[in-house]
Amino acid sequence: MMFKKWSVFIATGVFFSMGLSAATFEGSLSDQSIKADISISQDSYFLDIGGMHDTEDGSYGYIGAHIEDTDTSEDYPVQIGLGARLLAIDADLSGQDSGIAVGLGGFYRYTLPKANRFSLYGSFYYAPQVLSFDNIDDLYQAEVRGEYRTLRNAKVFVRYGLTSIDFSKFDSNHKMNKSFGLGVSLDL
């Protein structure tokens, strides 16, 4: 897919053109799927690139840009981010099952005050018809997870994710990434 070629070049150029202050790799596995994401941040801005492959439901890739705010005034930081993701979808259906969409949304992470190694994370992105192209009418993507900081620069997590795509040529929405998974997050 043309998106995959260009996304690697664009992301690499952007990553190396910025002075990095932090980078994070996240990966998760379930019985049928693998998901990976790498993000870089500079002050309150960050870029991410990632994707998911499922043996039954298809694959997607994305490039995102966000602005984030972290409140560290006490021992339980809150992290909130708002932004957009350009998603390329290739479902394993019978043709006309691929497209591009721009999802708007964000994420929220809350670290529990009395147990500061535990945090809760949620994200949601929505691409209405006006921001969905090719064979996609609309799309939403959601994820929730419980995280445990095992090391200063590493977390393990249990996640549940769902990506729902309304293809223009099909009667019902196609669900991807609808599963629980185990993952790790590494601050590089």
**142-169, pLDDT tens digit by residue?**
999 999 999 999 999 999 999 999 988 7
Residue 130: which CATH number? 2.40.128
51 class by beta-carbon count within 10 Å (0-12 exposed, 13-18 middle, 19+ buried): middle
For residue 23, give its domain range.
2-187
Work out the angle at residue 163's Cα, subtended by the Cα atoms of residues 32 and 117, and round it to the nearest 5 degrees.
75
Total tally of structural domains belonging to the chain: 1
Per-residue pLDDT tens over the stretch 38-74: 999 988 999 999 999 999 889 999 999 999 988 766 6
**Residue 2 pLDDT greater than 50, yes or no:** no
The pair phi, psi for residue 49, each rounded to 5°, is -140, 140
pTM of the model as a whole:
0.85
